[in-house]
Chain A
Amino acid sequence: SQELEQSPQSLIVQEGKNLTINCTSSKTLYGLYWYKQKYGEGLIFLMMLQKGGEEKSHEKITAKLDEKKQQSSLHITASQPSHAGIYLCGADIQGAQKLVFGQGTRLTINP
Chain B
Amino acid sequence: KAGVTQTPRYLIKTRGQQVTLSCSPISGHRSVSWYQQTPGQGLQFLFEYFSETQRNKGNFPGRFSGRQFSNSRSEMNVSTLELGDSALYLCASSRRGDTQYFGPGTRLTVL
A residues in contact (CB < 8 Å) with B = 33, 35, 40-45, 48, 88, 90, 97-104
Contact = CB atoms under 8 A, between A and B. Distances in A.
A40 B100 contact: no
Contacts of B107: 40
Interface string B1-28: 0001010000000000000000000000
B45 A35 contact: no
Interface residues of B, number: 22
B42 A101 contact: yes
B99 A45 contact: yes
Chain B CB within 10 Å — which of A41, A43, A48, A102 has the most?
A: A43
Interface in B60-111: 88, 90, 92, 99-105, 107
A88 B35 CA distance: 14
Nearest to A99: B100
